Amino acid sequence: MKVAVVGATGLVGTVMLQVLEERNFPVTELIPVASEKSVGKEIEFKGKKYKIHSIDQAVALKPEIALFSAGGSTSLEAAPKFAAAGTTVIDNSSAWRMDPTKKLVVPEINASALTAADKIIANPNCSTIQMVVALNPLHKKYKIKRVVVSTYQSVTGTGVKAVSQLNNERNGVKGEMAYKYPIDLNVIPQIDVFLDNGYTKEEMKMVNETKKIMGDNSIAVTATTVRIPVMGGHSESVNIEFENEFELKDIFEIMKNTPGIILQDDPANQIYPMPMNAHQKDEVFVGRIRRDESQPKTVNMWIVADNLRKGAATNAVQIAEYLMKSKLV
């Protein structure tokens, strides 16, 4: 299978290549794509060197699948070109997520909605993916009424520049700033730009994408998204109110038996999910499960995942695996 990776030299693109290799995805020909300044350079994949292509060169090669992680404006311009050439695009930017004509997919939840006609498929926001993986089985059983989420997000979600800023600050080096403020020894309660309603774009992504992925506009979601000086992954404190009553032991059982989730919840031994343990893992880690004692039918939990993997690259590759297995490409 011919596979293009658009944005192959970026943080997520690099992880996409790593995940394709680890999961032994049947790539017969890799077509790495990057910005004009990288065209002609080489990258290595499975011990073999591949030349970096421009978008137009890659489109002409007609790959079966193109994994995109090159930003919204590139996706808006380039994804339709690939789609017109018969390529199925799996896009990691926000460009197509809320387009009513495009599917927004987390394989564990709604891959079955995909058809061969879906030529541009949207990969959700990283913080949304890990949350809905945990929410979906609970919604099926108890029907979720409202979700209150606060996130603690890794600098890797911003990109290489932010990782450099954090490392520079830790080493006392002056350098380029990805954020307006220092990030080391600090917490920044802003991810993406502010909107007219006082929420950031990232917060509204979590609100809108959750409803679309889970196919239920009645779920009320409110979010506060925060950047913290961490590398390994995103963490979320999630408060979930249900329509129906639950037994706490049943919530534990559901989390324990849901594919893609690892339950880490042993307060007596101080075992709970942390980004340092989720780093470079594909699963969503859930713990700190406890009843909200301030109101009925409500539970609190702590959800952690590697935002570059399940939050981006792994989810995209899992979509590609589903397409291949279902003979949709």
Q: Convert the pLDDT of each residue in 244-290 to its tens digit.
A: 999 999 999 999 999 999 999 999 999 999 999 999 999 999 999 99
Active site residue 279: no
Contact predicate 45/64, CB 8 Å: no
The pLDDT-based confidence of 36 (bands split at 50, 70, 90) is: confident
Per-residue pLDDT for 183 more than 90?
A: yes
**pLDDT tens digits, residue range 22-32?**
999 999 999 99
Which residue of the set 53, 139, 234, 279 is catalytic? 234
Q: If you average pLDDT over residues 221-237, what whole number do you get? A: 97
Q: Residue 196: is its pLDDT beyond 90?
A: yes
- pLDDT tens digits for range 45-61: 999 999 999 999 999 99
Bridge partners of 188, per DSSP, are: 227
Sorted by where each starts, the structural domains of the chain and their CATH numbers stand as 2-124+312-325 (3.40.50.720), 127-307 (3.30.360.10)
Give the CB-side neighbour count of residue 71, counting CA atoms within 13 A.
9
Task: List Cβ neighbours of 212 (8 Å cut-off, separation of 6 or more).
Answer: 97, 98, 104
Chain segment 117-147, per-residue pLDDT in tens: 999 999 999 999 999 999 999 999 999 999 9
Q: What is the pLDDT of residues 105-120, one digit of tens each?
A: 999 999 999 999 999 9
In this prediction, residue 201 carries a pLDDT of 97
The per-residue pLDDT of the chain, averaged, comes to 97
Percent of the chain with pLDDT over 70: 100
Closest among 263, 328, 329, 270 to 301, alpha carbons compared: 263
What's residue 165's pLDDT? 98
> What is the helix (H) or strand (E) element at residue 202, kind and residue range?
helix 201-214
Residue 43 CA from chain centroid, whole number = 24
Active-site residue, selected from the candidate residues 53, 126, 139, 279 = 126
User: CA dist 272 to 1, 65, 263, 267, 301, Å?
Assistant: 40, 37, 8, 7, 10
Active site residue 234: yes
Residues of the chain above pLDDT 90, percent? 98
pLDDT of residue 283: 98
Residue 202 has pLDDT above 90, yes or no: yes
- Higher-pLDDT residue of 37 and 3 is 3
Structure tokens at 120: 């541009």
Alpha carbons 224 and 233: distance in angstroms, whole number = 17
The pLDDT value recorded for residue 25 is 97
* Band of residue 92 on the pLDDT scale cut at 50, 70, 90: very high
Report pTM. 0.96
The predicted structure's pLDDT at residue 268: 98
